[in-house]
Structure 1
Amino acid sequence: MIVVENVLSPEVLSEATKALAELRWEDGRKTAGATARRVKQNQQADLTSRTGTKVRDMLLDTVKRHPVVEAYARPLKFAPPLISRTGAGDTYGLHIDNPVMGKGDARLRTDLSFTLFLSPPEAYEGGELEIETVFRTESVKLPAGSMVIYPSTELHRVAPVISGERYVFVSWIQSAIRDAAQRAILFDIANLKVGLARAFPAGSAELLTLAKTEANLIRMWADA
């Protein structure tokens, strides 16, 4: 699990927040799988409208371009995103995300899930994203504009919202690197490259060797 802070600039966050008031909302169970449908109680936006399409594309493009998302997730495909609204009394009980989503060319394996928070934490009480790991339950409630990426293999839930409204932008990623341990190695290398770039000149043997190592590992491990 990784937290990526300040994914959205203040300008993009402000534009997205204003758009929320213009969206049409529908029962969130519409897109849930058979198991999740029984524990899902929230609303999600109709993103087929003009405003919905605009805000969806703006947020997804921002996520895709973020260097930490690229380095950590190594995205191959993104599932169609959702914007969810969880109000007072609403919740999304413990569930697991569908392992495969979409049809035809849009079909993908869900390796990673992400939640991009659009509401500041003081705007609602409760509503923590709780992720069940082997060792403990991680409780996540981030500032507006920040996101968490976590394995789609983990059980998770949204705690009941006691007051206020919680808005989030969510989607799923099929990584080009199927194995989580291999992704972790590549993420370490990406971070090492940033650090070494401060210590060695561009084109140095050290940086070239590290770039070669990264490229050859990707060549060995990538689905495409």
Structure 2
Amino acid sequence: MHLTIGSILSAESLAQARALMDQLRWSDGAKTAGPTARRVKRNRQADLSSNAGARLKTLLESALAKHVTFNAATRPKRFSKLLVTETSDGGEYGAHVDNPFMGRGEARIRTDVSFTLFLSDPDSYEGGELVIDQAGATQSVKGQAGDVFVYPSTYLHAVSPVTSGVRRVCVGWIESDIPDAGDRELLFDLENLHASLSRQHTPHSPEMLTVTKLFANLSRRLSR
């Protein structure tokens, strides 16, 4: 499932994030890429070890963790470390697939879901579209600041060259309780149906009890 979720960050939170980003140190983003992706990655990555970086990390993690739609679409079990990157001056990230596993030891996760949280207004830079390759077709995404785009980590994808301005985003990966993308979409649709029916029926009506039962039992069957 490919999904844009609007306004993960409020206007106030977005302003705070931008102020914190202006205090950060930036270095070559290729340092965190895998051997293949490193050859096509031309961007910069923020150092989040400073006080400002830690505050930015907490702000972004909190916004993602609290958002109902984001959690319903991704079913997070564990998150990777967040990365904040900026791309400008013709920088890009060529076609690549994300590593199947990230981190080490107890922090090691399987990457089921990738996400990009847009931090720059789309009209403040040219180019920089996130391009998803879907078996011969492509989807091009350039979200509004504060929006997040989620998609399965299994797809080839790229960031087109930024020809003017600066593109800043937060990216991360999720190990999901529901590893299969199709199963996550099924549960997402069922949860939306539950929300819709709740406006028409009481919690203990036969309709609501049946949908609740279906959701719970499918979640058990499909989880790992």
User: Under a length normalisation based on structure 2, what TM-score does the superposition of the two structures give?
Assistant: 0.97
Aligned to 1:124: 125
Mean Cα deviation higher: 72-81 or 198-207:
198-207
Aligned to 2:165: 164
Deviation at 1:34, TM superposition (A): 0.2
SS at match of 1:138: strand
Deviation at 1:182, TM superposition (A): 1.3
Aligned to 1:102: 103
- What are the within-5 Å matches in structure 2 for residues 185-204 of structure 1? 185-204=186-205
- 1:83 and 1:132 mapped to 2: Cα distance? 23
Matched, 1:38 2:39: yes
Aligned to 1:62: 63
Deviation at 1:69, TM superposition (A): 1.2
Aligned to 1:76: 77
2:159 partner amino acid? V
1:175 partner amino acid? S
1:79 partner amino acid? S
| Aligned length in residues | 223
2:56 partner amino acid? V
- 2:212 and 2:80 mapped to 1: Cα distance? 30
- 1:219 and 1:104 mapped to 2: Cα distance? 27
SS at match of 2:215: helix
SS at match of 2:23: coil
- 2:213 and 2:6 mapped to 1: Cα distance? 29
- 2:151 and 2:29 mapped to 1: Cα distance? 21
Q: Name structure 2 gaps, 5 residues minimum.
A: none
Deviation at 1:203, TM superposition (A): 2.1
- 1:75 and 1:135 mapped to 2: Cα distance? 29
- 1:221 and 1:140 mapped to 2: Cα distance? 29
- 2:191 and 2:171 mapped to 1: Cα distance? 25
- 1:184 and 1:170 mapped to 2: Cα distance? 21
Aligned to 1:6: 7
- 1:100 and 1:61 mapped to 2: Cα distance? 23
- 2:42 and 2:88 mapped to 1: Cα distance? 9
Deviation at 1:202, TM superposition (A): 2.5
- 1:36 and 1:61 mapped to 2: Cα distance? 29
1:23 partner amino acid? L
- 1:17 and 1:149 mapped to 2: Cα distance? 22
- 1:142 and 1:220 mapped to 2: Cα distance? 34
- 1:39 and 1:209 mapped to 2: Cα distance? 50
- 1:201 and 1:45 mapped to 2: Cα distance? 49
Matched, 1:140 2:141: yes
Identity across aligned pairs (percent)? Answer: 48
Aligned to 2:221: 220
SS at match of 2:220: helix
Deviation at 1:135, TM superposition (A): 4.5
- 1:165 and 1:99 mapped to 2: Cα distance? 29
Deviation at 1:57, TM superposition (A): 1.4
- 2:74 and 2:197 mapped to 1: Cα distance? 22
Aligned to 2:27: 26
Q: Name structure 1 gaps, 5 residues minimum.
A: none
Aligned to 1:173: 174
Aligned to 1:208: 209
1:173 partner amino acid? I
SS at match of 2:116: strand
Q: Over residues 28-81 of structure 1, what are the superposed CA-to-partner deviations in whole Å (9 max), with x where a residue is unaligned?
A: 011000000000000010011111011011101111211111111111011001
Deviation at 1:218, TM superposition (A): 1.0
